[in-house]
Amino acid sequence: MNRKPFIAGNWKMHKTIAEAVSLVNAILLNLPDPQEIDVAVAPPFTALAAVAEAIKDTPLKLSAQNLFWEKEGAYTGEISPLMLKDVGCEYVIIGHSERRQYFGETNEMINKKVKAALTFGLKPILCVGERLEEREEGKTFEVVKRQLLGGLAGLAPEEVLKTTIAYEPVWAIGTGKTASPTQAQEVHAFLRNLLTKNWSKEIAQKVRILYGGSIKPENIKVLMQEEDVDGGLVGGASLKAESFVRICNFKGD
């Protein structure tokens, strides 16, 4: 199965509006062939409108980093899927480990967010990944299974097809410590197998599973050589055009 590679830049809580626009303008200068690879950026909420405008009529895709599951209402400080659709987002990252760790997001909340995103025509990027102590205790598969099946609970086959999975081992995020290609591949294969068992082989073969955690221009190529690694969710290295476009152009690098 030939899945189209997908690289997404997660800017986290970085970039003012002016910085965000200048970063996407620089990325646009060196975007790879859109027939070959999908590329998205996920700026903070405050820069979404300006970035949407800057990337209009280009192949660069827009993602948000989070949402709340209601359409509207008295939820001070929250952003709804309708608002993200309205501003021009195609994707939304859901269940990032920083959301789970610092903001108390549970698999139940994440499942509500995934469903809300799909209801409003947004494509979820569902993040899963074990913490260091969980890996050391041999619980990696158990943890990612709970996160994957919890996050996707109750989804119809066509909804799963619209979803991207990102495997991000927490110990590899922002630490400079990347999972080895073999470590990534064994979890990716396990996740794909879960999709086969719970939906179908056809669906499992189509869903893209990204790796995330200290991706750099120097390590993307070997990760992408693995059978079940279909792309990357890039944090730190997505904040500079130079490193991000090198990652996006990994085929020619």
233 binds ligand PGA (CB under 6 A): yes
| Closest residue to ligand PGA in the complex (CB) | 235
Rounded Cα gap, residues 42 and 47, in angstroms? 9
Rounded Cα gap, residues 212 and 166, in angstroms? 7
Compute the least distance from the CB of residue 152 to ligand PGA, in Å.
Answer: 19
- Region near ligand PGA per CB under 6 A, out of 67-75, 137-145, 196-204, 234-242: 234-242
Compute the least distance from the CB of residue 26 to ligand PGA, in Å.
Answer: 19
Q: Kindly state the tokens that stand for 46.
A: 């405050």
CA 157 to each of CA 49, 86, 127, 164: distance values in angstroms, whole numbers, following the listed order: 32, 26, 19, 13
When the beta carbons of 95 and 199 are compared against ligand PGA, the nearer one is 95
39 binds ligand PGA (CB under 6 A): no
HSE, CB side, 13 Å, CA atoms: give it for residue 43: 29
Which of the 8 DSSP states describes residue 45? G
105 binds ligand PGA (CB under 6 A): no
One residue of 34, 121, 157, 174 binding ligand PGA per CB under 6 A: 174
One residue of 173, 184, 207, 248 binding ligand PGA per CB under 6 A: 173
Rounded Cα gap, residues 195 and 68, in angstroms? 25
- Region near ligand PGA per CB under 6 A, out of 22-30, 108-116, 151-159, 212-220: 212-220
One residue of 111, 214, 219, 243 binding ligand PGA per CB under 6 A: 214
Rounded Cα gap, residues 236 and 2, in angstroms? 28
Decide: helix, strand or coil at residue 37. coil
Q: Kindly state the tokens that stand for 22.
A: 């200048």
215 binds ligand PGA (CB under 6 A): yes
236 binds ligand PGA (CB under 6 A): yes
When the beta carbons of 199 and 241 are compared against ligand PGA, the nearer one is 241
Compute the least distance from the CB of residue 249 to ligand PGA, in Å.
Answer: 17
Rounded Cα gap, residues 67 and 203, in angstroms? 25
Catalytic residues: 96, 168
Rounded Cα gap, residues 32 and 92, in angstroms? 22
Residues that bind ligand PGA (CB under 6 A): 10, 168, 173-174, 212-215, 233-237
